[in-house]
Structure 1
């Protein structure tokens, strides 16, 4: 059973939800990479039978050795460096040994980065990494279930393209502006703010006062998200950026300046909630 737990811990890192099905051959390669390190960690940081069952089921494990056990596994597989900080590059190199699709590797990279904010949290065991490890594991467990499917991404992208084509007529933007949006950066073009405000209005993110108000967007989202927890995740994502309504802007109900604030906030938080969409 321990072997299953070690593989569960590592699969959260190298096989997140949304990556194409991992073949039996790839699973064998993954096991070869992590079995030895997992058993070494168990010798140094013994965990209980209950902890093993909970980790296997991806549920919270409360045993006192669990954080350091996970930290040990993460260090040996390259997710965490010797200073106890989450480190993405080594695990990406490990993943490339079993993943051959560039799109899958990109999804993995985004997935790992979605929990990089853990490094900025205050912990009391600097260097050991035990607290960082359990926080990262919890984050990855949550984000693995949040990730959008390819079908959901395609539906969202199609809708944005359709509405964007309407808004670009009213608020023309340049090729440079479009490229900035593709790179998830807010462009410097004079019409960029009003272009985004137009899109936000049409998808229901903005109300007629130029404020972020997502009730209409949530109703429309039910055509894309079937599960209640997916809609709830979207609601939490949008609520994260409700703070922009309190920011001072100079264009009132027009909403162009607030659209920039909302866009930047949504992009900043997109990975954490599994809404990484390429345009």
Structure 2
């Protein structure tokens, strides 16, 4: 699966905005990723690792993910995955398709366990964001 397809699906599942449709959600999420990549000095190599679904290891890329997840409403102020935020994202993305909303919400719930996992990084929200990303990658094929 291509990186753009992966980003599109994750965007629909995790990005929240007042967007009118899925295309707007995708664009908003990509905007957040670019803003956060600049803010956290993410290298081209680290972006390539994301594109190939590699587990993220550097602090900059972990914090970029945390930044983007927080801006979308996917995580709360502590960096914990927000079931309510993800439900709102699904409602925004699929206002007239209950089956897709349910599938998105189920996919999101699959990763809620990361909120209880031990985080060893000093910046907990960054470490948790990496775990959320890994969970999303690990469970992506079963969600589509």
Instruction: Note if contact 2:11-2:25 (Cα within 8 Å) is conserved in structure 1.
Output: no
Change (3 A) 1:95 1:33: farther
Distance 1:66 1:58 in 2: 13
1:129-148 superposed Cα distances (whole Å, 9 cap, x missing partner): 1111101110111111134x
Instruction: Note if contact 2:12-2:93 (Cα within 8 Å) is conserved in structure 1.
Output: no
Give the deviation of 1:112 after TM superposition: 0.6
Q: Which residue, 9, 12, 16 being the options, matches 2:10?
A: 12
Q: TM-score, normalised by structure 1?
A: 0.43
Give the deviation of 1:116 after TM superposition: 0.7
Change (3 A) 1:37 1:104: same
Give the deviation of 1:91 after TM superposition: 2.8
Aligned to 2:100: 104
RMSD over equivalenced CA pairs, Å: 2.7
Worse overlay, 53-62 or 108-117 = 53-62
Distance 2:61 2:46 in 1: 7
Structure 2: tracts of 5 or more residues without a match? 15-19
Equivalent residue runs for 1:16-165 within 5 Å? 26-99=21-94, 100-125=96-121, 128-147=124-143
Distance 2:92 2:116 in 1: 30
Structure 1: tracts of 5 or more residues without a match? 17-24, 150-279
Equivalent residue runs for 1:195-214 within 5 Å? none
Question: Secondary structure in 2 aligned to 1:58?
Answer: coil
Question: Secondary structure in 1 aligned to 2:32?
Answer: helix
Give the deviation of 1:64 after TM superposition: 3.0
1:90-142 superposed Cα distances (whole Å, 9 cap, x missing partner): 23213322213101111111111111111111113577411111011101111
Distance 1:35 1:144 in 2: 19
Q: TM-score, normalised by structure 2?
A: 0.78
Give the deviation of 1:50 after TM superposition: 1.6
Aligned pairs, how many?
135
Give the deviation of 1:59 after TM superposition: 2.3
Question: Secondary structure in 2 aligned to 1:131?
Answer: helix
Instruction: Note if contact 1:85-1:119 (Cα within 8 Å) is conserved in structure 2.
Output: yes
Distance 1:127 1:92 in 2: 26
Relative contact order higher in (CA < 8 Å, ≥ 6 apart): 2
